[in-house]
Amino acid sequence: MRVACVGECMVELSERPDGSLVRGFGGDTLNTALYLARLGVTVDYVTALGDDPWSDAMVEAWGREGIGLERVRRLPGRMPGLYIIRTDDAGERSFHYWRDSAAARDLFSEPGAAETRAALEADDLVYVSGISLSLYGEAGRAALAETLAALRARGGRVAFDTNYRPRGWPDWEVARAAFRAALAQADLIFASVEDLDWLFGEAGDEEVLRHRGRAEIVLKTADGPVPVARVLHGTSDTKVPAGPVDRVVDTTAAGDSFAAGYLAARIAGLAPEAAAAEAHRLAGAVIGHRGAVIPREAMPALAF
């Protein structure tokens, strides 16, 4: 079983009160790839970077985590995207991006795009998020959709996580159309009701639930006392609540690690409901630590 995660990882700068910046790396699909690798899944990260020192450092860090690097395209003279996390006096964080010229955005238009597409078509499972979709523009998204259609025709599967960031999109209609198309191509859907309501308005979950029966769906709600994953497959429809968490320190990568936990558990043969419980366990550990990537020693023991 070979999994490919498609998307963008950026240089992350966290601003301290004195204005100095601490460098890290961040990206939703990369987080998922990293946790998949830690859970023993064979995973490639599919993206484009530049030939600069930060791109080198990213690739080195991913290699140390056991993520497959063969399909990372390195574009001469280009750079990764960058963002600054600013924390105001009230502790609220805001994100500020320089990503329009990031190499990752050209994954489906750079000279090696045909190779990238051919490799994706041969994968067993391709994981894409709503943020990945926002990177490529209309032509790139069409190329990705064609690639995923070819993969599915061969018997491969597509997992889609609805991560929605309005800033990544020129307008709502473009985003809605792209999400609808991706949902229709997904065999496994991770959706947060919050994202869906934001994008589609009230009852956004209907946009996902219309695929019940055909697709396996994990619909995450966070309006009760604990987050709940509603798991739908075939005719079954079950609510799997998250277990109690000692302390929520930082919810960065909660959804990304949830997806990794779920996919790894499913690949290991667990049923969807049991996979959701394991996914909650991993996400629960991730939110107990600062940052997207928790220390290896903090990885919870999962039931597979």
Using CB under 6 A as the criterion, which residues of the chain lie in contact with ligand ADP when the complex forms?
A: 192, 220, 222, 226-227, 229, 242, 245, 248, 251, 254-255, 258, 280, 283-284, 287
Q: Which helix (H) or strand (E) holds 247?
A: none
Q: How many helices (H) and strands (E) would you count in the chain? A: 10, 13
- Residue 61, class by beta-carbon neighbours within 10 Å (0-12 exposed, 13-18 middle, 19+ buried)? middle
Cβ neighbours, 10 Å, residue 15: 16
Q: Give the integer Cα–Cα distance in Å for 115 and 48.
A: 12
Nearest residue to ligand ADP by CB is 255
Closest CB to ligand ADP among residues 248, 298 = 248
Q: Which residues contact 216 (CB under 8 A, 6 or more apart)?
A: 187, 188, 189, 231, 232, 233, 272
Query: Taken in order 114, 59, 66, 287, is the CA torsion positive or negative?
Result: negative
Cβ neighbours, 10 Å, residue 192: 25
**In whole angstroms, how close is the CB of 294 to ligand ADP at the nearest point?**
13
Q: Give the integer Cα–Cα distance in Å for 273 and 44.
A: 26
Nearest to 298 by CA among 245, 239, 224, 259: 245
**In whole angstroms, how close is the CB of 258 to ligand ADP at the nearest point?**
4
**In whole angstroms, how close is the CB of 194 to ligand ADP at the nearest point?**
6
Catalytic residue, candidates 123, 161, 205, 256: 256
- Phi and psi torsions of 235, nearest 5°: -100, 5
**In whole angstroms, how close is the CB of 115 to ligand ADP at the nearest point?**
32
Closest CB to ligand ADP among residues 135, 229 = 229
Cβ neighbours, 10 Å, residue 283: 28
Closest CB to ligand ADP among residues 55, 192 = 192
Closest CB to ligand ADP among residues 13, 242 = 242
Closest CB to ligand ADP among residues 64, 167 = 167
**In whole angstroms, how close is the CB of 93 to ligand ADP at the nearest point?**
14
Q: Give the integer Cα–Cα distance in Å for 219 and 227.
A: 10
Q: How far is CA 152 from CA 88, 127, 304, in A?
A: 46, 13, 27
52 is catalytic: no
Q: Which residues are catalytic?
A: 256
